[in-house]
Amino acid sequence: MDDTELILAGVARQAELVRTGAVSARRLVEASLARIERLDRHLGAFRVVRAAQALAEADARDAARAAGAPAGPLEGVPVAVKDELDVTGEVTTFGGAANRTPAARDSEAVRRLRAAGAVVVGKTTMPEFGQWPFTESAAYGYTRNPWDTARTPGGSSGGSAAAVAAGLATAALGGDGGGSLRIPAACCGLFALKPQRGRVSTAPHPHLWHALGTVGPLTRTVLDSALLYDVLAGPAAGDRWTARPTRTGFAEAARTEPGRLRIGYSAKPAAPGVRPHPEHVRALHATVRALRELGHDVRPVDPRYPDTTAAFVPQFGGGVRFEAAGTERPDLVERRTRQTLLLARLTPEPVVARAVRAGERMAVRANQVFQRIDLLLTPTVAARPGPVGALDGAGMLRAAVRSLPMIAYTALWNVTGNPAASVPAGFGSDGLPLAVQLVGREHDETTVVQVAAQLEAVRPWAGRLPDLAR
């Protein structure tokens, strides 16, 4: 098995190879680092590569197994981490230049991955404080889509998505405060599940953008995502939100048929004034046909989306303010971020608290659609991945307008907290991936995972690689 085959074997297969002694953790990490060295100069997916540290961690895993220690479920798997999550010994930059001091300890999500045997190979790029669905920053430049390096990988977890799509890491952690896992997954041909609010701990912080944000992985397959969620799921001390337990484990769900479900579909965006690209509508209808062939009752619905502006905008501004308050050099934040922080002054903490409560009321209305259906199917994004440079010369307001087609289907479900996944749906005429979004009832990731796995089985997507990565 050459390095490309090895790194693309996926989480389950890699961990099995290491557990059985067929491959060492060091060999896996060396394969990942070699691909990073060869390809990342074209992508800009990594803010920092932890080559020496990752090899030392891999050697320690190998030595522990040789001494009789049990292997973890992610034994030796090379993972990347978005630069809003703490990794011991590395600066958490939030995509900017205003922080300088390395983190003293891992965030809870990173700690759990390492405890399960994963090895952190580096930290990935993001727009400053994750504000935009384009991975561009004054500090670190453009991150590029592996399918077409002139195009955006989406954002804000675009570095994580580009790294996984190009096989630089087997999986990568990101965050989703308005679509920041699902949008780059859609642009890069990956699977990403935004979990129910409170499913994955945000510690050491009590929240991620208040009620909007969640932590989760980007992977090439549904099962890989499920294996990581079985490790990541569960609260920690200090978390502001906690999700109810799922019916089964995530990996069990990925391997279990759901039975016949009622699935509603709609191409209507939740953001007014946005029109979906025709190829995204065609991908939606192709998925409807696939689901009907799988035996599901699939019908058009009008979701009657509430206007979530009053809930989303104050939490967005308050979330950026919360993260920016901890920077060491606030004078070095970007001009756009300073404009966001000026806006955030209009939404002090009592206003943010009211926005959270407003979001809870909107969730009741948005979830009325699930009285008639088990899942909702929509496009993931309205626009095709555009050229890099989307933020060039743009202030905060213009950047927000340019972002709207990318978040038109996703941000609502951050306000409500529902689980929602971006599922690959083939390729467009431009050679870039297409995707659809599956939205589940509150706390019901299980059904989303089951149906996503069904779609993957009938139209596999993980075997195709960008030309850059071959």
DSSP letters spanning 124-164? E--SGGG-SSS-EETTTEE--BTTBTTB---SSSHHHHHHH
4: helix, strand or coil: helix
Distance CA 27, CA 407 (A): 39
Beta strands 214-219; 420-427: pairing state: unpaired
Closest CA to 35 of 56, 14, 60, 5: 5
Count of residues making up the chain: 470
pLDDT at 7: 85
Report, as residue numbers or ranges, the catalytic residues: 82, 156, 180
Query: What CATH number has the domain spanning 3-469?
Result: 3.90.1300.10
104: enclosing H helix or E strand: none
pLDDT confidence of residue 360: 97
pLDDT of residue 25: 98
Q: What gap in Å lies between CA 120 and CA 81, rounded to an integer?
A: 7
Specify the pLDDT at position 8.
Answer: 87
User: Taking the chain (470 residues) in consecutive chunks of 10 residues, what is each chunk's mean pLDDT?
Assistant: 88 97 97 97 98 98 96 98 98 97 98 98 98 98 98 98 98 98 98 98 96 98 98 96 97 98 98 96 98 98 96 97 96 96 93 97 97 98 98 96 98 98 98 98 98 97 87
DSSP for residue 330: G
Which secondary-structure segment (H or E) carries 280?
A: helix 278-293
Q: What is the dihedral of CA 13, 15, 21, 25, to 10 degrees?
A: 120
Alpha helices in 166-266 (DSSP H): 182-188, 222-232, 250-254
Predicted TM-score (pTM) of the model is 0.98
Alpha-carbon dihedral of residues 304, 310, 312, 313, nearest 10 degrees? 140
Q: What is the pLDDT of residue 31?
A: 97
Q: What's the confidence (pLDDT) of residue 227?
A: 98
Q: Give the residue among 135, 134, 89, 139 at the shortest CA–CA distance from 110.
A: 89
Q: Which secondary structure element, helix H or strand E, spans residue 367, and what is its range?
A: none
